[in-house]
């Protein structure tokens, strides 16, 4: 193994198996701490090539903060999640749905799309008005050509945001606002053992997530639900 190959192997080992986006714009990349994106612009969540097959997942949030459109393209097959519907190649499908390249089915309170070409799945939780959490799970090492908000080795959250935004003149990306919120303070008083040294970081993310969405039960609940899963990760 060459020095470059060894370096790439270390990079792969450091990458988490799951990227998550939830609430009004929190992104937990494959590697490193989560960060926040306050935008109604379209973004590449993750994009890569494996065995000459292209995978591309894009997301867009509405003014409510919820995801209102998700596009998943695997081997040129395009699946769109929008308005509570699932469209495969522009045709609405019902569940369970089986295709040569992918399977879509209910997964408890979630819906899951699983690729038959690669150990990859996309899982989401639908609520009135959109999707409040979405996960991309990978079960094997991937090419270093990966781009998108989910990240790659040695790239910061701000670099990922700048490099993942898709052109759209009708949208806007704003600076996040962190205003203390008593709900966040109460919740994080119970998370000392779970988050350990990263507690303050996610405490601040909680404020950014809930700002402007104080009356939305889905935005806050999605954040707390994901943080509560930390003991299982």
In this prediction, residue 14 carries a pLDDT of: 39
State the burial class of residue 91 (Cβ atoms within 10 Å of its Cβ: 0-12, 13-18, 19+). Answer: exposed
Does any domain span residue 89?
yes
CA separation (Å) from 66 to 89, 149, 218?
Answer: 24, 16, 8
Q: What is the extent of the structural domain holding 27?
A: 3-167
pTM for this model (two decimals): 0.86
Does any domain span residue 194?
no
Does any domain span residue 220?
no
Does any domain span residue 28?
yes
- Name residue 39's beta-bridge partners: 173
- Name residue 125's beta-bridge partners: 133
148-160 pLDDT tens trace: 999 876 677 788 8
Does any domain span residue 231?
no
As a whole number of angstroms, the distance between CA 102 and CA 146 comes to 21
Q: For the chain, what is the domain count?
A: 1
71-99 pLDDT tens trace: 999 989 999 999 999 999 999 999 999 98
As a whole number of angstroms, the distance between CA 118 and CA 114 comes to 9
Does any domain span residue 214?
no
Encoded tokens for 209: 């997530």
The mean pLDDT of 35-50, rounded to a whole number, is 93
Does any domain span residue 53?
yes
Does any domain span residue 115?
yes
State the burial class of residue 110 (Cβ atoms within 10 Å of its Cβ: 0-12, 13-18, 19+). Answer: middle
């Amino acid at each position: 193994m060459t020095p470059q190959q060894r370096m790439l192997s270390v990079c792969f080992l450091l990458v988490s198996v799951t990227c998550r986006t939830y609430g009004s714009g929190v992104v937990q990349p494959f590697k490193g701490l989560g960060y926040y994106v306050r935008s109604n612009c379209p973004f590449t969540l993750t994009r890569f090539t494996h065995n000459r097959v292209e995978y591309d997942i894009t997301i867009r949030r509405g003014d409510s903060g919820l995801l209102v459109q998700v596009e998943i393209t695997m081997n040129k097959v395009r699946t769109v999640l929008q308005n509570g519907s699932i469209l495969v190649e522009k045709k609405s499908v019902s569940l369970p749905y089986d295709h040569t390249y992918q399977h879509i089915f209910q997964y408890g309170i979630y819906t899951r799309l699983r690729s038959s070409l690669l150990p990859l799945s996309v899982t989401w939780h639908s609520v009135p008005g959109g999707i409040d959490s979405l996960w991309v799970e990978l079960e094997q090492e991937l090419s270093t050509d990966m781009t998108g908000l989910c990240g790659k080795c040695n790239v910061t959250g701000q670099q990922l945001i700048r490099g993942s935004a898709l052109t759209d003149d009708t949208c806007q990306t704003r600076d996040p606002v962190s205003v203390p919120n008593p709900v966040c303070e109460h919740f994080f008083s119970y998370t000392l053992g779970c988050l350990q040294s990263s507690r303050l970081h996610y405490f601040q993310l909680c404020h950014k997530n809930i700002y402007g969405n104080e009356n939305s039960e889905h935005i806050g609940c999605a954040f707390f639900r994901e943080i509560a899963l930390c003991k299982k990760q």
